[in-house]
Amino acid sequence: MTLFVNRLSHLDVSLWSPQHGLIGASWHVDAELDGELGEDGMLFDFGEVKPWIKSRLDGGVDHTLLIPTKAPGLEIFECSEGLCVRATQPYPMEVRAPRQAFTLLPWPAITTERLAELLAGEVMKRPPPRVTDIRLRLRDEVIDGAAYTYSHGLKRHLGNCQRIAHGHRSRLHIWQRGVRMPGLEAEWAERLGDRYLVDAADIATGPDSVVRGMMTSRYRAEQGRFMIRLPAERCLTLPTPTTVEHIAGWLARRITEETGRATRVQAFEGVDKGAIAEAQP
């Protein structure tokens, strides 16, 4: 007998791609569980499925930077922050952070199929009674219209959002004069696409941080010390923390300034959550 649960949870991560660099991602998690029926006529209580699997995902890959350790141009070593990951292609990157901010995978590239298989194996190390196997599927949210991806870190967050390189894939809705503006949505989704969002207050300016053509962001949070260095062209600087509330407000103001029209922005942060902001010319 097989029990299935679609959209059981979702993951928000960033990953390093040897072809595209730093990418934000948000995936639905679907599950299928095999086993034998109990005397109660059930394989497994639906109310227990979600917390059992979700707790293991939240304590593992969620809100981490996924690193395919066999990708070309990668160097990984211990440092005072915990772990340092350096890359040379497709562009230079360096991230220093506590170990729990990374998920190291011994592959040349990250695929959702392989990751889902690995996660299913981790979950099955301590299965509930009567469950004999589990299969997970990771999939992008179906988005009809513009979607943007980004990575960031929130130093004041008390949870795992403080990790300096985690990300999201999100919807973007923009209204002017009460009408959705798909052209503006596509334009701004492209501007934001695969960018690292930087809080201006976190930009490092010391002599060991200034590298020509690169931007360095550094901060200390509850989990430890964090640093990321990327080409300046891959970064987008906000004058505020890069929470979705501030992202929505920044977008509304920028679009209003450029178009001269009152603008309402609904910026999602991953799946089914986000913030709404408005600005007037």
Q: What is the pLDDT of residue 36?
A: 83
Q: What is the pLDDT of residue 271?
A: 95
pLDDT tens-digit map of 176-211: 999 999 999 999 999 999 999 999 999 998 777 778
Q: What is the mean pLDDT of residues 10-34?
A: 96
pLDDT tens-digit map of 125-140: 877 777 889 999 999 9
Q: Find where tokens 């103001």 sit.
A: 253
CA distance 47 to 52: 9
Quote the pTM value.
0.94
Q: What is the pLDDT of residue 129?
A: 77
Q: What is the pLDDT of residue 40?
A: 78
The number of C-alpha atoms within 13 Å of 45 and in the hemisphere containing its C-beta is 8
The number of C-alpha atoms within 13 Å of 66 and in the hemisphere containing its C-beta is 27
Q: CB–CB of 167/153 below 8 Å?
A: no
CA distance 38 to 58: 29
Q: What is the pLDDT of residue 14?
A: 98
Amino acid present at 58: D
pLDDT band at 123 (very low <50, low <70, confident <90, very high): confident
Q: What is the pLDDT of residue 45?
A: 74
CA distance 144 to 132: 37
Domain chopping of the chain, boundaries:
2-279
- Return all residues near 18 (Cβ < 8 A) that are at least 6 apart: 68, 71, 72, 73, 89, 90, 108, 109
Q: Find where tokens 């919807």 sit.
A: 171
High-pLDDT (> 90) share of the chain, %: 81
Q: What is the pLDDT of residue 186?
A: 97
DSSP codes of every residue in 21-83: EEEEEEEEEEEEEEE---TTS-SS-HHHHHHHHHHHHHTTTTTSEEEETTSTTEEEEEETTEE
pLDDT tens-digit map of 36-49: 887 777 777 777 77
pLDDT band at 141 (very low <50, low <70, confident <90, very high): very high
CA distance 206 to 208: 5
Q: CB–CB of 181/159 below 8 Å?
A: no
Is the pLDDT at 109 greater than 90? The verdict is yes
pLDDT band at 117 (very low <50, low <70, confident <90, very high): very high
CATH class of segment(s) 2-279: alpha beta
Q: What is the pLDDT of residue 11?
A: 96
Q: CB–CB of 150/24 below 8 Å?
A: yes
Q: What is the pLDDT of residue 201?
A: 96
Is the pLDDT at 272 greater than 80? The verdict is yes
CA distance 204 to 220: 12
